[in-house]
Amino acid sequence: MTKIGIIGAMELEVEQLKQEMAVTGVIRKAGMDFFEGTLNGADVVVVRCGIGKVNAALCVQILADVFQVSHVINTGVAGSLNARLDIGDILISKDALHHDMDVGIFGYQPGEVPQMGFREFVADQQMMALAKEACEKVNPDIHVMCGRVVSGDQFISSKEVKERLKTCERILHAGDFDKPEILRQLEEIRPVCAVRGNVDKGWAEHLPAEQEITLAGFRIYMIHNRKNISRELSGVDIVVCGHSHRYGEKREDGILYLIRKRIPHLIAVMEELIRMGLCSGEDEEPAEKVLVLKRSR
């Protein structure tokens, strides 16, 4: 039997669902009110779980143990790290992960919960497809797309992004800005060294496809897609490139390759950066600080 549990962190995220459903009962557990009934002919349990991952996990466990739900939908509002998403757009999760879980000291990837054997919580493919189809049918004028949802118990504001960006002296960007506004925003904060990405069309023609800069005596070669490198890299110390959807950091033939995930939004810049001081000796202070993009949280 299909029974859908629908949860939202805040009342405003579930109040309309409660108004639209035919309520047959309300049960209170763990400080949460579980509204049982039907919605458009489907058996549902709608509940405001409260803010935070612990509350959400507790709520879902109750839905499973007490109400025997077969499916869970988490609905709500969120900020976006993707410039293709505007206010009022709808994102349907293809997978989800923690942005504030970091046990990298023990060799785990950022966002990976130790000893689980996986990092991403993959969504049910059928539910994802049905949700997208329903959204496009009911809301044809609203942009709907599938993508990753990251969740955590920290709120990151754009003010903090800018303050952290201001601690550097240069910003390196390996392309895929999506919008010229992103480049302009970065240039208002610090000098930017950038190359053109494969999605940067028209407005970005003035950006070079590749360039080499020198910082603190280090030669840094920048290109969007490493596969397009056609020149000899003799004498280059660092290669900064993008295009990949995974962060990479490795040395080959004495060259440090920094491969950053695609970042289409200013907020994501802060989330995917490392600060790197470049100097010629172990006892020297960095002559220049460089901001390079690292990972998505």
Q: Residue 47 belongs to what domain range?
A: 4-151
Q: Do 277 and 253 form a contact (C-beta atoms < 8 A)? A: no
User: Which of 151, 169, 184 finishes a domain?
Assistant: 151
Tokens of 147: 């993508």
Q: Are residues 124 and 15 in the same domain?
A: yes
pLDDT score of 60: 97
User: Which of 91, 120, 151 finishes a domain?
Assistant: 151
Share of the chain above pLDDT 90, in %: 37
Number of domains in the chain: 2
CATH (domain of 38): 3.40.50.1580
pLDDT score of 153: 79
Share of the chain above pLDDT 70, in %: 77
Q: Are residues 186 and 110 in the same domain?
A: no
Q: Are residues 87 and 175 in the same domain?
A: no
CATH (domain of 210): 3.60.21.10
pLDDT tens sequence across 108-150:
887 889 999 888 999 999 999 999 999 999 989 899 999 988 8
pLDDT score of 296: 33
pLDDT at 100 over 60: yes
pLDDT at 297 over 60: no
Q: Are residues 184 and 102 in the same domain?
A: no
pLDDT tens sequence across 185-238:
777 777 888 898 888 888 888 999 999 988 767 788 999 888 889 888 888 888
pLDDT score of 114: 92
| The most confident of 93-107, 145-159, 258-272, by mean pLDDT | 93-107
Among the ranges given (6-20, 71-85, 197-211), the one the predictor scored with the smallest mean pLDDT? 71-85
* Mean pLDDT, rounded, for 243-254: 68
pLDDT score of 121: 93
pLDDT at 91 over 80: yes
Q: Are residues 8 and 146 in the same domain?
A: yes
Helix axes 180-189, 158-165, angle to 10 degrees: 60
Q: How many Cβ atoms from other residues are within 10 Å of residue 128's Cβ?
A: 16
pLDDT score of 235: 87
Q: Are residues 121 and 33 in the same domain?
A: yes
User: Which of 127, 151, 175 finishes a domain?
Assistant: 151
pLDDT score of 166: 59
Q: Are residues 31 and 147 in the same domain?
A: yes
Q: Which residue has the higher pLDDT, 29 or 258?
A: 29
Q: How far is CA 56 from the centre of its chain?
A: 20
Q: Residue 117: is it exposed, middle or buried by C-beta count within 10 angstroms (0-12/13-18/19+)?
A: exposed
Tell me how far apart the alpha carbons of residues 44 and 60 are, in angstroms, rounded to a whole number.
Answer: 13
Closest CA to 220 of 228, 210, 207: 210
pLDDT band at 180 (very low <50, low <70, confident <90, very high): confident
Whole-prediction pTM value?
0.55
pLDDT score of 130: 95
pLDDT at 288 over 70: no
Q: Do 1 and 42 form a contact (C-beta atoms < 8 A)? A: no
Q: Which residue has the higher pLDDT, 78 or 133?
A: 133
Q: Are residues 263 and 169 in the same domain?
A: yes
pLDDT at 69 over 70: yes
pLDDT score of 158: 56
Q: Are residues 254 and 163 in the same domain?
A: yes
Tell me how far apart the alpha carbons of residues 200 and 233 are, in angstroms, rounded to a whole number.
Answer: 25
Q: Are residues 9 and 40 in the same domain?
A: yes
Closest CA to 293 of 236, 268, 190, 252: 268
Q: Are residues 100 and 178 in the same domain?
A: no
Q: Are residues 79 and 138 in the same domain?
A: yes
- pLDDT, the chain, mean: 80
